[in-house]
Amino acid sequence: MENESFVTNSELWRRAQAEPEPDWRDLYGHVGLRGTAADTAAECARLHKAGEPLAELWRFGVLQALDSYLSARRRGGPVLARGVFAQEPPATGAAEIDAAYAALAEHLAEQDGWEPATWVNDPRRRVEHWYANTPVIFRAQADEQSPKAFRTRGIFITPEALWRA
C-alpha cells in the first residue's frame, strides 16, 4: 500500500470550502415542494396518538418542516419556500407542537421577508411555557435568546435549536 496517500480532515475541509456552491436553483428549481408543514403535522398527530413524547414530535415534525423550507429556499428562494407554510397544519393533539409550527412560520417569514399566512396568528397556537427539546442546563439561555416568534407563543429554544447541518 505504498501508493496510498492520506488526506487530513483539515485538508478535506479546505478543499470543500474552495469548491463553488452548486447552483441549486438551476439543478433542482423544477422540483417544487417536497413536503409541507401540513404534511409533517399530520404525521405528528399520528405519532402523538401513538404516545410519542413531545421531543420526538419536535424533531420529526417541526424540524422536518424547517428542513423542507431550507431545501425549497435553496432551490427556489423564499417564494417557493414560503409554500411550506401556505396550508394550515392540522392540529396535532399537542398544543406545544401546534404553537411551534406558527412560531417557525413567523420566524422564517420575518427572516426571509415574506408575509406569513393568517393561520399563524391564531391565538390557539400559543402555550403557557414550554422548552422545546432544551436541556435544563440551557434553559436560562433559551429564556434570554429565544427568537421573538417563539417567545411570544410561550416556546423557549436556544438559537442553535434551529441550526441545520
- Per-domain residue ranges of the chain: 22-123
Using one digit for the tens of pLDDT, what is the confidence trace for 8-38? Answer: 888 877 887 787 776 655 655 555 678 999 9
What pLDDT sits at residue 132? 93
What pLDDT sits at residue 126? 97
Helix (H/G/I), strand (E/B), else coil: 159: helix
The pTM of this model reads 0.82
What pLDDT sits at residue 10? 82
What is the Cα 141 distance to its own chain's centre? Answer: 19
Contact between 52 and 83 (Cβ < 8 Å): no
Cβ atoms within 10 Å, residue 109: 19
What pLDDT sits at residue 28? 54
Query: Mean of the pLDDT values across residues 61-81?
Result: 93
pLDDT band at 2 (very low <50, low <70, confident <90, very high): low
How far apart CA 8 and CA 76 sit, in angstroms, is 35
Mean pLDDT rounded to a whole number for the chain: 90
Q: Give whole-number Cα distances, 43 to 46, 55, 56, 86, 139, in Å.
A: 5, 14, 11, 17, 28
Q: Give whole-number Cα distances, 120 to 3, 20, 68, 144, 150, in Å.
A: 60, 37, 18, 23, 12
Q: Is the pLDDT of residue 3 over 80?
A: no
Query: Mean of the pLDDT values across residues 47-67?
Result: 96
Query: Mean of the pLDDT values across residues 35-58?
Result: 96
What pLDDT sits at residue 31? 59
